[in-house]
Amino acid sequence: MVNDILLENEEYILTRYKNTLKKQGFNTVEDLLTNFPVRYENYTVGSIKDAKVDENIVLEGSVASKLTINYVKSKLSTLSFTMDVDGHLFRATIFNRLFLKTKLTYGQVIRVSGKFYKNLNNFTINDLIFCDEISRDIVPVYKIKEISEPKYLEMLNKVFHKYGRKLEETLPVEYINRHGLLDFKSSVKLLHYPNSLDEIRLAYNRLKYEELLKYQLSMKYLHYMREQKGKSPVMDYKKEWLDKLEESLSYDLTDDQKKAIEDILGDLKKPYAMNRLLQGEVGSGKTIVAVMAIVAVVSAGYQAALMCPTEILSQQHYATLKEMLKEFDINIALMTGSTTQKNRKEIIEGLKTGEINVVVGTHALFQSDLEYQSLGIVIADEEHRFGVRQRVMIRNKGEDVNYLKMSATPIPRTLSISVYGDMDISIIKQMPLNRKKVITKYVETSEKRAVMKHMKEELKNGHQIYVVTPLINESESLDTANATEIYENMAKYFDKEARVGLIHGKLKPNEKEDIMSRFLNKEIDILVATSVIEVGVNVVNATTILILGAERFGVATLHQLRGRVMRSDSVPYCFLLSEKKTETSEKRLRMLENTTDGFELAEYDLANRGPGEFFGEKQSGSMNFKYADLRYDTLILEEANKDADEIIKKAEFFESDEYQNLRKTVYYNYEMKQNQLD
C-alpha cells in the first residue's frame, strides 16, 4: 500500500528535499501523490479569428520585431514587440517582465494569454510561455515551499511512474458505477496530468463525492452507535398532562409545532437518548415545544434542565415556565451566577433529592458539585453558544440523558444534513397566526430624516428602539458608522426625549447583562448595539430596529436582527440603512424587504457568503472540506447523504473488504469524538 511506503527510503530524492517535504507533512508516497495542484494554467490555444476585444484568449505565434522597453514610472515598466499569429500582426505588451529581454528573440514561437484592448491591434499579455518548454496545454501549478516547481515536478513524475499503478480503490464499485465516477487511480492521474478542464472536473467530482460520503457516513455512524449502546430509560409520560397544558394555551398550536412535539415524544419512548435539533425562527413558537418536552419528562418521574447562554434569558425562561406550569405540581428552580450561596445550596439539595423537577440556568448548571436524582432531558437554548466541554458536562449529569438543542438561526438544508448529520432535526417554519410581520424598508442616507421622525413617533407611543451598527470604534479602513459615535449622536439628538444605552461585544458579560436588563425594564428607550443583540432577550416593547451600514451584514444576520422586534404586540418596523450603495448590496437589501422566509434567506447567504455566515469561521471549520464546497456541491452532497443512509444499514459495511477504507475513516472519527467527550 502506498501509504506505507516512506519517501525517506526513495534513493532518487535528495536528502535535503526529503527533509523539506517532511517538514511540510509529506512522509509517504501517498502524501505526495495526493498533493494535487493548487491551480491550473490553461494554455489551450484559441483561434485569432475568435478573438474579441476585452476577452481573455490564449494565442500561439512568433516574435516578429525587436523588443521595445519603456519605463513608465518607478517600479512600472513595459516590454513590447510585434507578434505574428497566423499572419495577423499586432503589438503585444507585458508589464514588469524585463528579464524576458534576454530570452525573447526574433522568430521565437511563444504562447501568450491576455486580451486585446481598444482594437485587435493591441494586446496586453498576462502570462507568456515558450513553446519549447511546454509539453501540454493544461499546466498544473504546485505550491511547495523551498523546492522549485521544476524540481518538484521531476520528483513527482518519478514517484508517480513507480507507484501510481499501486494506488488502491477506496470506494465500493457499486457506488462508483451508480454515479459514473472515475476510479481512484484515474482521478489521481488526471489531476496531475490532465488533457482538458473537463478531465479535471471529473476527477475532482470523484474526490468530492468520496470526501462527502465519508463525512456523512461518519455522522450516521455516530447516530448508529447511539442506538446500539443506548441505555436511556423509556419515558412513560402521562398524555393527560400534555393535553392539560395544550388546553390551557390561549392559541392553537401550528402543524409544525405539533409535528415537532410528536417527534420529541417519539424519541422519549426509545431505549436510546434523544439527540435532536429544534430549528425555528424567532417567534415561531419553539418555547412551547420545549415546555411540552419538559412536562412529558417530569410526568414520567424524571428531571429536566434548561440551559441558556445568558442570565437574563434564563430569568425570562424561568418566568415563562412558572406562568405556563402554575396549574401543575412541578417545582421549578433558577440557578445562575447571581444565585445567592444560600439559595444555591437549597437548589443543589433539591436536585439531589428530586424535590426540584426543573432547573433553568446558565453555565452554573454544569458545575461539578451539582447532582441530579434522575436527570431525563437537557434542553439547550441557542446551543451553539455553549462550548463542547460545557455541553458534555451537563449531559454527563445523568445516564444517557436526552438532549434537545434549540436554535433560532435558520440553517440551509445543505448545512443541516452535514453539520448536524448525527442528529434528528425538527423544523418549525409556520409562524403563529397572531404574529405580526415586520415591515422592512430599505432606506438610503438621504432618507434618514424620515426614519428619525418615525423613531420620535414610536418613542411618544411609549415604545423602545434598537439601533444597530457594525463596528464598536472608528476604523480607518472601514468608512461606516460605529457604535460609540452613534451612541453619542443619538444621545445628543434625542436629548430629554429618550434615554440612550450602548452595548457591544467588548463589554464584560455582567456589563452586557446589566444593560439588557435596563432595556428590558424600560430604563433605556434606545439601545445602540453591535450585532451582539442578534440572539437573546425578548423585549416585547421594542417595535423598531434601525440597522446602519446594513450592506455589511449577511442577509441571514439581518433577518435575525429584525427578529428582535417580532415579539411586539404593535406593528414592528425594520429600517435597513445603506451607507455604500452598490448594485449587489441593493439587491440583497431589497430581497429582505420582500422576503420573510428565513430559510430562503439562509440559502441565499450560503450561496453568496459561505458557511461561516451561520456559525462563524471557527465554528464552520468542520465544513471547510479539502475538495468539496457546500455552496456549489449540493447535488453531490445529497447523493452522498442518501448513499450513507443506505450503507450504514448494510452488513457488508461492517464485514466486506471492499468497505475497509470507509470503515477505517468512520471508526477513527468515532474514536476521536469519544476522546473529546471523555
Q: What are 342-378's pLDDT values in tens digits?
A: 999 999 999 999 999 999 998 888 777 888 999 999 9
pLDDT tens digits, 473-528: 655 455 456 788 888 989 999 988 899 999 887 788 788 888 888 988 899 999 99
Q: Yes or no: is domain 239-428 CATH 3.40.50.300?
A: yes
Intrachain domains 239-428 and 439-595 with the same fold: yes
pLDDT of residue 438: 87
The confidence score (pLDDT) of residue 622 equals: 47
- Backbone Cα Rg of the chain: 31
44-133 folds as OB fold (Dihydrolipoamide Acetyltransferase, E2P) (2.40.50)
What residues have CB less than 8 Å from 228, skipping those under 6 apart? Answer: none
Q: Integer distance in angstroms from the first to the last C-alpha of the chain?
A: 33
CA dist., res. 96 & res. 461, Å (int): 66
Residue 438 CB neighbours (<10 A):
24
Q: Model's pTM, two decimal places? A: 0.77
User: Nearest 5°: CA angle at 643, between 641 and 644?
Assistant: 65
Residue 83 pLDDT class (50, 70, 90 cuts): very high
Burial of 238 per CB tally in 10 Å (0-12, 13-18, 19+): middle
The Cα–Cα gap between 193 and 199 comes to 9
* Angstrom distance (rounded) from CA 406 to CA 24: 42
Q: Does the structure show a pLDDT above 60 at 385?
A: no
**How far is residue 298 from each of residues 130, 260, 355, 376, 436, measured CA to CA in Å?**
78, 18, 11, 8, 34
Bridge partners, 111 (sequence order)? 60, 129
Rounded CA gap, 236 and 609, in Å? 46
Residue 403 confidence (pLDDT) above 80: yes
60 close to 111: Cβ distance less than 8 angstroms: yes
Band of pLDDT at residue 597, cut at 50, 70 and 90 = confident
Tell me the Ramachandran region of residue 162: left when phi exceeds 0, alpha when psi lies from -120 to 50, beta otherwise: alpha
The CA dihedral of 416, 420, 422, 423, to the nearest 10 degrees, is: -80
- Residue written as cell 422592512? 440
Instruction: Give the model's confidence band at 618: pLDDT under 50 very low, under 70 low, under 90 confident, else very high.
Output: very low
Written as one string, the DSSP assignment of 205-253 is HHHHHHHHHHHHHHHHHHHHHHHHT--PPP----HHHHHHHHHH-SSPP
Q: What is the DSSP letter of 430?
A: P
pLDDT digits (tens, 9 = 90+) for 619-668: 444 457 899 988 889 899 999 999 999 999 999 999 999 999 999 999 99
Q: Are the C-beta atoms of 574 and 564 separated by less than 8 Å?
A: no
Domain ranges of the chain: 44-133, 177-215+625-678, 239-428, 439-595
- Give the whole-angstrom CA distance, residue 526 versus residue 199: 59
Higher-pLDDT residue of 644 and 400 is: 644
> Which residues in 284-395 belong to E strands, given as ranges?
303-307, 332-335, 358-361, 375-381
Query: What is 361-372 written as a DSSP string?
Result: ESGGGG-TT---
Contacts of 516 (CB under 8 A, 6+ apart): 310, 312, 503, 533, 536, 537
Architecture of the 439-595 domain? 3-Layer(aba) Sandwich (3.40)
In contact, 531 and 468? CB cutoff 8 Å: yes
Q: Do residues 2 and 160 touch, judged by C-beta distance below 8 A?
A: no
In this structure, of 15-19, 134-138, 245-249, 571-575, the range with the lowest mean pLDDT score is: 134-138
